[in-house]
Amino acid sequence: MKTDGLGSGDRTDVGSGTLVLAIGLFAVIASLIGFDVLADYRSGTEPPHLVTEGVVMALALVGLALLWRQFRSVQRRAEQLTVDLESARREAQRFREEAHDALRGLGEAIDRQFTRWALSPAEREVGLLLLKGLSHREIAQVRSTTETTIRQQALALYRKSGLGSRAELSAFFLEDLLLPVGER
């Protein structure tokens, strides 16, 4: 299965690979037991021994069948996830295309408001990343700085804007967008 680096596909590949290995091992074991039963039968081995080995071979075949069923289930789920992911990507692309002008306008409005609040370039970037929903830790990683620095820049943004939190920051820019169309 082709993955996109999101992580979940990687686990599916490992799971599928493990199942394929287990299926192969069970197939080899069942085959070896089958050859042994056949050789024992030809050499005149006692029936109880043949029955015991036959039961073991049957159990190996049942295990093989169960693993094959699980493998097919994993494959079908991976195929469905791929279809769902592609559908979500198409929907997101369609949304971006339909909302392009509105999003550009919102971006410009946010930038103008950040200018009114006299935010530093770092505070502006932190503000945008906060609006995108990143945690302080994630912002610190993106900006190659410490989480403490990000917290300080966020506090400076809140102080300059007169807002008290990330929720208030988001509401400041998004509140009017959530009104019904006729009330905007």
Listed in sequence order, the residues at least 6 apart from 85 whose beta carbon sits closer than 8 Å to its beta carbon are: 4
Q: Is the pLDDT of residue 136 over 90?
A: yes
**Phi then psi for 82, rounded to 5 degrees?**
-65, -45
25-64 confidence digits (pLDDT tens): 889 998 999 999 999 999 999 999 999 999 998 998 998 9
Residue 124 structure tokens: 């502006």
Asked if pLDDT for residue 81 goes beyond 60, the answer is yes
Residue with the bigger pLDDT between 88 and 179: it is 88
Confidence of residue 3 (pLDDT cuts 50, 70, 90): very low
Residues near 184 by beta carbon (within 8 Å), at least 6 away in sequence: 176, 177
**Whole-number Å distance between alpha carbons of 127 and 145:** 15
Question: 0.75 cut: is pTM over it?
Answer: no
Tokens describing residue 11: 């686990």
Share of the chain above pLDDT 70, in %: 87
Token pair of 143 as six digits: 């900006």
> Per residue, what are the HEC states of the chain?
CCCCCCCHHHHHHHHHHHHHHHHHHHHHHHHHHHHHHHHHHHCCCCHHHHHHHHHHHHHHHHHHHHHHHHHHHHHHHHHHHHHHHHHHHHHHHHHHHHCHHHHHHHHHHHHHHHHHCCCCHHHHHHHHHHHCCCCHHHHHHHHCCCHHHHHHHHHHHHHHHCCCCHHHHHHHHHHHHHCCHHHC
